[in-house]
Structure 1
Amino acid sequence: MSNRSRPEDAQDVIDPELLMLAYRSGIFPMAESRDDPEVMWIEPRERAIIPLDGLHISRSLAKALKADRYQVTCNAAFAEVVDACAAPRRPSQIDDGTDSWISERIAASYRLLNRMGHAHSIECWRKGATGRELVGGLYGVGFGRVFCGESMFSRASDASKLALCWLVAAMRAAHMELLDCQFMTPHLATMGAVSMPQADYLKRLEHALRPTTESSFASLPDGFHSLGAASSPGKLIAQSLTQTS
């Protein structure tokens, strides 16, 4: 880990109460570039979600899950996942160039949310020459029964897809309801994402935020760690997800 100061030590972050209010209202921030100090508040006309009972898992992905190909963790390297998601990518990997919408200010704001318990990451690791290395993952914001996925990355075969499988399984274990993917992409479509008008998304969001007295409701990290109690968590996840997809 570098000793250089993090952006939140040197510049303003988005007020966390304002940021969480935005998510609870169906709005999220983006920037035009990595060094853009300004924030654009986005409310898309069409919204993408992945139904928790509708994740599409290919045979090869199910096989990779059952093999527990990577070590999977939750909130073990949040800052590193955000940095990896924000890193420039090859033009062939994305549709709009090589820069990132995750500005330094936005990244700093999510790191603060993570320390407050409102943002979470899932990481995939494999053994390297000098120890384990981070090869994939995702991060997003969690509140109530909702998880808003922000970004994912992969440096090894199926790493981001496996992280998504663990996310869905953890949400199901925690009795959460709504997995927001923001914008539809071809990659998300292959995983079972569906698109809907923003108005329909807001109705689902309101339902997922309704008051409850259910004792079974838990946080995403709680749901994730309950999966690790199994002797072969990947096999358990593959079986539970393929039965409903």
Structure 2
Amino acid sequence: MRVWVWGVFLALMAFAQGTDPREEAKRQKELLLQTAGILPTELVVQQGEELFNRKGPSGKTMAECDFGLGKGVLEGAAARLPRYFLDTGRVEDLDGRIVTCLTRVLGYKPQEVKRQEVVALAFYIASKSTGHKIQVRLLFPEERALYALGEKLFYARSGQRDIGCATCHITYVKRRAGVLPYADVLGEDKSWTHWPAYRYSNDQIWTMQDRIRACYGNIGHPQPNFYSTPILALELFLAYNNNGAVVEEWPAFVR
């Protein structure tokens, strides 16, 4: 039986039994380790490391890229994103910065950049921030403007169902199984460190960009494009409100 089939079955069982999604994720993680001996997150991190060391058309590798702490410095870098970068003149999250490096440093054309490779690279780079604290700043005007937009988008109601992020994560959090409460989303208990992650319920690897797009789809709203301003604004808003949170494990293992 494929991993995703097993995951869907167990997720439905957990839903029916009213199981805490976090505790269920821990249990499924242990079961997968016992049966397969390795987690999908480990495999994707390995793939990301190979891609990180692969030479692009320019003859350079990702080690020549600066993720905010200097060329090739990955320890704790993802925990400081999104942030403003002087070389591009814009705010970038981990996904967007990877695309910048692939195109500007490694020499790939934008149409040659594969989403799954971006995700794998994000898994690898994010793994270097496990144990670090979230440290996102609002020093530049571009960062402050994007934060304000993210806050507005979080509380806005839109789409066919006239709901938004806050509707699920604040208003109806106790009435919908598996939805993280206000504290988890906005950081009151410092636990917003769930993405990037492997979703065992559908055997998919997601970064926060994928998660936000899926949420928009759930509320009947057209999904923003990858690397677009609405996604980046929400990421910055959420990350900033989780400053001080310790990254227990990146990439995570979630339902």
TM normalised by structure 1 equals 0.29
Q: Which protein has the larger Cα radius of gyration, Structure 1 or Structure 2?
A: 2
Instruction: Output the TM-score relative to the length of structure 2.
Output: 0.28
Larger strand share, 1 or 2: 1
Of Structure 1 and Structure 2, the greater helix share is in: 2
